[in-house]
Structure 1
Amino acid sequence: MCKNVRVHLEIVRLADSQIPAAAATLAHAFHDDPLMVYTIPDPDDRTRLLPDVYSRMIRFGVLTGEVYVTAGAVEGVALWLPPNVKWTRENIEASGMHETPNIIGNDAYQRYREVVSREWQARERDMTDPCWYLFLLGVEPSRQRQGLGGALMRPILERADTDQIACYLETENERNVAFYRRHGFEVIVNGEEAGTSGVRFWTFRRMPKL
């Protein structure tokens, strides 16, 4: 008989050698995400291009923030940027993120920016105080709904409570709304459409626990 067993999930800081595996995990997790579908409409192109895109985002996280993964096989990734993160040209170039337009094509990059720029505007408007920013959270599709997402967020959520600092994130996927609410986030922007893209987005804030 099959029994439900609560498995302990060990979460560790990403090692540089794990960047390719972490990028592959994020590519799988976001393959059908509305923003990625709008950015790169062809599914085969997404399969081919997204690992390269996410590897650069992860490197930026390693340079400027903190990246957490599941111990052993990389089945989930959380990339956090700290309060007052430095989006400098040096950090962007060192991570390789400046090469994204060349990787996915300028038209795709402009579609991506169309949505992300609206999210940036919302963040600057609604989060004037320093906060931890959850830049990316992704779990292998076969391992979703098993507690990995919450475990991956826990190290920074606990630190934010200790330091009394808020946390912030965005999602373009409505099915994530209930998940983030369960982990103490409140919706700030509720399904706002990003320009003419048809992509909706939600923004969330989590105030520290006393």
Structure 2
Amino acid sequence: MGVAIRTAGEGDRERVVRLLDEAFQDDPVSGWVFPGDEYRRRTHHRLMAAFTDAVLADGWIDITEDGAACALWLSVPESGHNGEDAGAGDGPAQVREAVDPDNERVERIARLTEDIHPSGRAHAYLWMVGVAPGRQGEGLGTALIESVLDRCDRERLPAYLEASSARSRGLYERLGFEFTGRALDLPDGPRMWPMWREPRQGAR
């Protein structure tokens, strides 16, 4: 397909935040964290900004050359830590304070996903992948993910993510991810599917 991909830098921050905000406005998990369309439109972008800053600092962001899609990745070391906030104090509480101090769900979602995150083995963590609403279905997200999975295969490195919808779970299964068997049912909210991918044999 020939999708041009590059690594985002600090100069891409606002573009990435805007893209993620637009891409996840209708996501079931975003709807749970920020219930109500008007409230979500006002506030959701702050959480996307916090995610973007965290990954620019500790991971990397791949973005298509036209800015229509991006993927946020972290390298999780071989340890008992999840990687998202290692060495940063109480990350979930800090994110809540920065994003929306009155919204307990901002902190809750971070703690719940931490609890289900596998530990022990080093892996690549796909925090999130976002595609502009008008460009979804073109294979941009798949191209972004496959570029990293190819490297994971060469380096014999597993990968991990949490699918936030049944539709995205199906996409990830086609890319070799498997449901870990322990779903995360958000309180009075949607289900998330933790998914793990072992490196494939015979990679290029």
TM > 0.5 between the two? yes
Q: CA deviation at 1:142?
A: 1.2
Greater than 6 Å deviation, 4+ residue runs: none
In 2, are the aligned partners of 1:115 and 1:199 still within 8 Å (CA)? no
Unaligned runs of at least 5 residues, structure 2: 78-82
User: What is aligned with 1:202?
Assistant: 193
| Identity fraction in percent | 24
Structure 2 counterpart SS, 1:32: coil
Q: Number of paired residues? A: 195
State the superposition RMSD in angstroms.
2.3
Structure 1 counterpart of 2:199, which letter?
A: P
Matched, 1:88 2:87: yes
Partner of 1:165: 157
C-alpha deviations, 1:139-183, integer Å up to 9, x for none?
111111111011111232111111101000002212111111111
Tell me, in whole angstroms, the C-alpha distance in 2 between the residues paired with 1:163 and 1:50.
36
Q: Verify the 8 A CA contact 1:132 1:165 in the aligned structure 2.
A: yes
Match of 2:166, SS state, is: coil
- Aligned counterparts, 1:100-139, within 5 A: 100-106=96-102, 108=103, 110-124=104-118, 127-139=119-131
TM (norm. structure 1) is: 0.83
1:76 corresponds to: 69
* Greater displacement, 129-138 / 77-86: 77-86
**3-state secondary structure, aligned to 1:198:** coil
DSSP-derived class of the 2:137 partner: coil
1:36 to 7, 30, 35: 30
Whether the 8 Å CA contact 1:166–1:205 is kept in 2: the answer is: yes
2:6 alignment partner AA? V
The aligned counterpart of 1:140 is: 132
Specify the code of the residue in structure 2 equivalent to 1:113.
Answer: E
Task: Identify the residue that residue 59 of structure 2 maps to in structure 1.
Answer: 65
Structure with the bigger percentage of helix: 1
**Unaligned residue ranges in structure 1 (runs of 5+):** 1-6
* Partner residue in 2 for 1:17: 11
- What is the identity, as a one-letter code, of the residue corresponding to 1:103? V
Write the distance in 1 (CA, Å) between the matches of 2:11 and 2:181: 37
Q: Tell me which residue corresponds to 2:80.
A: none
Instruction: Give the aligned residue type for 2:150.
Output: E
- TM-score with structure 2 setting the length: 0.85
- 1:156, 1:143 → 2: CA distance? 21
Q: Which moved more, 1:78-87 or 1:60-69?
A: 78-87
One-letter code aligned to 2:88 = R
Quick check: 2:33–2:109 contact (8 Å CA) kept in 1?
A: no
Q: Distance in 2 between matches of 1:175 and 1:209?
A: 23
Deviations along 1:62-118, one digit per CA (max 9) or x if unpaired, are: 11111101103x11110000022462228x6xxxx9354343232x2x223334423
Contact kept in structure 1, 2:184 and 2:194, CA below 8 Å: no
Match of 1:193 in 2: 185
